[in-house]
Amino acid sequence: MKKIIALIIFLFLLTGCSWQAKPEKNAKTIIEDRSDIKVAINYPEFHYSILDNAIDKEVQNIYKTFKNEYQNMNSYNNIAELNVDYHHEVLNDRYINVILTSFINQSNLAHPSNTIKTFSYDKKANRMLRLSDVISQPELDKLVPLFQKKLLTKYKDCILMDKLKQTITNHFENYQNFTFNDDDLILYFNPYDITAGYCNIIKINISLDQINLKLPFERGTNSDHQVTKVAAEEKSVIDPKKPAIAITFDDGPSKYTKDILTLLKKYQANGTFFVIGNKVNLYQDTLRTMVKNGNEIGNHSYNHKYLTRVTDHELLQQIEDTQAVITKTTGTTPKLFRPTYGSINKHLREKVDLDIIMWTVDTSDWKSTNAKKIATKALDTIQDGDIILMHDTHSQTLKALSYMLPKLKEEGYQLVTVSELNEIRVLRESTRES
């Protein structure tokens, strides 16, 4: 009998464990703002170790190579920038396709360098997929002429013919970078692989009407295009006669943001979150909670590029893409923008159609891991009307806030969003005039 009970308990524990939900997907963020280098790396973590390790290894390699090459060059006005961005898609709740792109810019380079690396993972089989797992040899044989034709049309100005002949053959090992979606199989090549360097990343789509995948794959199941609308559950009451400050958080969301939201709520505080667009899809619930609790969301670019050095086209794209993904997720469109690396010029001010918000108190919360020190320094400086800069990408920020919030409340501060702080300013000015 005992044995049977033990077996039942054992089975219960075994199945119980497998029922446990996986932790939420994360985006990992590395931001480095120094006088010689600007680094912004964002990449996903899915909690599938084979996939996560492959991505992590690639990112560490890119970061290390960049630093070896460019840090401490100390030449005047010659900042080197590294930006790592990603895109991911889950198909049939089974296949995860990730595209990692890295961008390096420095004035010694003839042109910025862009590279791509893709990852395809099969959750059910728990393995990375190569192109030979996705299509059969006869399909590849069929694909090669289709691919060549498209390539010669789309990139005719920069094709290196000898490299094309060597590479675009019916050998699977020549096709390292690929993804697929409901419509297409997509193949990518890096600059210099088959084209001149200035031609950027090569991307060719082959319709799945022309090529058969050998994977069990059902097309047309991906229909996540609806806008979700959420609203603040309570209207916050502001009093222009009482002191007020706005705490702002940059570079999120991250795995710490949810706890920051809980903490803010506990102290009836609202914050303003300047989010990076490419992370929003991994934190949809977090963004919706932000709005429901009465916080404000601002735009902090799509992938944290150094925006005073990009073309107008890219600047506007960075802002629009972020506006779009936030609107789709929450139903609310941001009115505020915070420049990346705090870098701003007249041109950016003219081009950006949102209110540009800087800060008056910098907590430097990313520099120190000592939460108490961060909190004390901030509390010593904060005055009525201040905008406080913090980052919801560090555990010490969460901890520092847990010291700061009760203290600020005790001192009688209203902890409001940036827009509410502006409202207070306007109300105070109007009472002064009348």
Q: Give least dist CB 251 to Zn ion, A.
A: 4
Binding site for Zn ion (CB under 5 A): 250-251
Q: Give least dist CB 195 to Zn ion, A.
A: 33
Q: Give least dist CB 26 to Zn ion, A.
A: 18
Plot region of 114 (φ>0 → left; ψ -120 to 50 → alpha; else → beta): beta
Report yes or no: 108 and 76 within 8 Å, Cβ to Cβ: no
Nearest to 151 by CA among 139, 140, 161: 161
DSSP character for 419? H
Q: Give least dist CB 319 to Zn ion, A.
A: 14
Catalytic residue list contains 171: no
Nearer to Zn ion, 85 or 250 (CB): 250
Q: Name residue 114's beta-bridge partners.
A: 103
Nearer to Zn ion, 29 or 190 (CB): 29
Which residues lie closer than 8 Å to 151 by C-beta, 6 or more apart?
159, 164, 168, 194, 202, 204
Which residues lie closer than 8 Å to 119 by C-beta, 6 or more apart?
51, 54, 55, 96, 97, 98, 100, 128
Of the residues 300, 304, 391, 394, only one is catalytic, namely 391
Residue 111: half-sphere exposure toward Cβ, Cα within 13 Å: 8
Nearer to Zn ion, 250 or 296 (CB): 250
Q: Name residue 275's beta-bridge partners.
A: 299
Q: Give least dist CB 96 to Zn ion, A.
A: 27
Nearest to 237 by CA among 263, 270, 209, 214: 270
Catalytic residue list contains 93: no
Nearer to Zn ion, 193 or 251 (CB): 251
Of the residues 250, 251, 386, 392, only one is catalytic, namely 250
Nearer to Zn ion, 177 or 322 (CB): 322
Catalytic sites, residue numbers: 250, 391
